[in-house]
Amino acid sequence: MAKYFGTLGFSETVETKPGYWVPQITEKDYYGDILNVSKKYQSNDRITNDIDIYNKISIVCDLYAASNMHNIIFAEWQGAKWKIKSIELKMPRLILTLGGVYKEGESDG
C-alpha cells in the first residue's frame, strides 16, 4: 500500500464585512495511505478530455478534520488538486474518494 502525504483544502464561508460573505480556503497537511488507484477519461466537446480519478485516500484524522469533514473540497496528490467526491468517517481515519481536477475559485457545490 502506497503512503500519502498531502494538503487538504477546507472551504468555509466567512463574513468579511457586514453582509458580505466570501469563501475562505484553509489548507492543512495530512498523512495516510492510498487505498486504490484508477482513472477515467470523460469525453466532452472540448479539444482535450477531462480526467476523473477514483482514488481512495485514507488519512489519519485529527479533531479539525473530523469536525470539518463536510468542508473538505480538495486533496492534493501527484502535484495536482483533486475534487473530493465522497468522504467516509472511520475513526481514526477519513476515507476520501477523489474525482476530477479542482480549479482554483471553483464553487464547492
Q: Is the pLDDT of residue 10 over 70?
A: yes
Tell me the sheet residues that pair with 42: 50
Note whether residue 89 is domain-resident: yes
Using one digit for the tens of pLDDT, what is the confidence trace for 19-32? Answer: 999 999 999 999 99
| pTM for the predicted model, two decimal places | 0.81
**Centroid of chain to Cα 109:** 13
Give the separation between CA 74 and CA 10, rounded to whole angstroms. 7
91 domain-assigned? yes
Question: Would 109 be classed as within a structural domain?
Answer: no
Task: Identify each DSSP E strand in the chain by its residue range.
Answer: 2-17, 20-36, 39-42, 50-53, 56-60, 72-77, 80-90, 93-101
Counting the structural domains of the chain, the total is: 1
Q: Is residue 108 part of a domain?
A: no
- For the segment 83-96, what is each residue's pLDDT rounded down to a tens digit? 999 999 999 999 99
Question: Percent of the chain at pLDDT above 70?
Answer: 83
Query: Which band of pLDDT confidence, cut at 50, 70 and 90, is reported for residue 53?
Result: confident
Residue 69: its H or E element: none
Reported confidence tier of residue 109, pLDDT bands at 50, 70, 90 = very low
- Structural domain range at position 82: 2-14+22-101
Q: Is the pLDDT of residue 81 over 90?
A: yes
Indicate which CATH number applies to the domain containing 76.
2.40.10
Is 88 within the bounds of a domain? Answer: yes
Q: Cβ distance 88 to 61 under 8 Å?
A: no
Distance CA 50, CA 19 (A): 37
